[in-house]
Chains A and B, each alone.
Chain A
């Protein structure tokens, strides 16, 4: 079966750090993506983890533990434009299995 859990909503203030957690149970797991999606727009790629550990990319970092079925996305120095939905996405075979997304609201 396929199951991806992430918080529905999170709030934070500008300049802060926020961590969005994701747990998954996915058959045929190949890797894990994080996508950002602004309302009414297509998802855009943020990060991809296939091995355990931390991948850092500017203000965004993503962590994966395959044995625990766990990932997180870390956003530093938050900006207003970071207000969006963040989707935890497992690659199963050649398909992407999306979580329901975490809506992040950044306030000044």
Chain B
């Protein structure tokens, strides 16, 4: 039973470019959340997807957008990349209506913007 898988694991982009990160949730999970973690900081909530809709959003600009597919997998898109977007992007999956320890994190995608 695979846990949360993310791809790519590492990538380098140039300022102004666009990037797409992908996440497959743990089997049986239907909710996907995305977080940005800069070096030395805790993860910051970007948004959450459930039933292919954005359910909740953090304080991130519209350059950050997402999508959830019928199979519950999700993509995070960032347009017009800035140097400050360099970070670890974490995907977390969970099952709606369940709390506690049913939130699982992927290993993350390291994005470097040069």
Q: Contact residues of A with B, CB < 8 Å?
A: 4, 30-31, 33, 41-45, 48, 50, 87, 89, 91, 93-101
Contact = CB atoms under 8 A, between A and B. Distances in A.
Which 9 A/B pairs are nearest by Cβ-Cβ distance? A98-B42, A42-B105, A95-B45, A45-B101, A98-B43, A48-B100, A100-B42, A101-B42, A95-B56
How big is the B interface, by class? 20 to 34
B108 to A, nearest CB: 6
A96 B89 CA distance: 14
A97 B45 contact: yes
A50 B101 CA distance: 12
Interface in B70-113: 90, 92, 99-101, 103, 105-108
Contact of A98 (B44, B48, B103, B108): B44
B8 interface: no
A48 B48 contact: no
A91 B99 contact: yes
Contacts, number: 54
B99 A96 contact: no
B24 interface: no
A42 B5 CA distance: 11
Contacts of B41: 100-101
- Scoring A4, A95, A100 by chain B CB atoms within 10 A of each residue's CB, the highest score goes to A95
B68 interface: no
B42 A87 contact: yes
21 contacts: A42-B106, A42-B107, A43-B105, A44-B105, A45-B101, A48-B99, A50-B99, A87-B42, A93-B56, A94-B33, A94-B50, A94-B55, A95-B48, A95-B56, A96-B103, A98-B35, A98-B45, A99-B42, A100-B40, A100-B41, A101-B42
B8 to A, nearest CB: 15
